[in-house]
Amino acid sequence: MKEEGVEPDLVTYSTLIFGLWKSGRVKEARKYLDILVESWHFPDAVTYTSLMNGMCREGNALGAVVLLEEMERKSSGMTLETASSATLVRALCREGRIAEAYDVFDYAVESKSLTDVAAYSTLEVTL
């Protein structure tokens, strides 16, 4: 794209990140998130959520938590989406990281991003 004078934008990078993690290339997707930030495009919740879901699916829930913390630092008011909070809590519980799951759960409740019964049930069933 760049060779043809077209600068990739947030939508381009988000689509690429989503496609990479869906095809099991999460580390490469993470690199593109870094490139996105370096190019002064600011990822949105969809971009972060996409990558967090990929990390959880490959068994790297702690990496997803680190990404969540990065999202909080670099954004103004961006919060975890309901689907992602449930995914992250479930992944942490699967990995036996119950304390971290509670932390994410508490964060999600405080930020009002955990609003559905299924997400609450995740911790209840796991514990």
DSSP labels, 69-113:
HHHHHHSSS----HHHHHHHHHHHHHTT-HHHHHHHHHHHHHTT-
**What's the confidence (pLDDT) of residue 45?**
80
Q: Which residue has the higher pLDDT, 126 or 51?
A: 51
- The pLDDT mean for the chain works out to 82
Using one digit for the tens of pLDDT, what is the confidence trace for 13-57?
889 999 998 998 999 999 998 988 888 778 888 888 889 989 998
Q: Which residue segments constitute the domains of the chain, with CATH numbers given? A: 2-126 (1.25.40.10)
Written as six digits, the tokens of 6 are: 């077209």
CA–CA dist 125, 127 (Å, integer): 6
Q: How much is the pTM?
A: 0.76
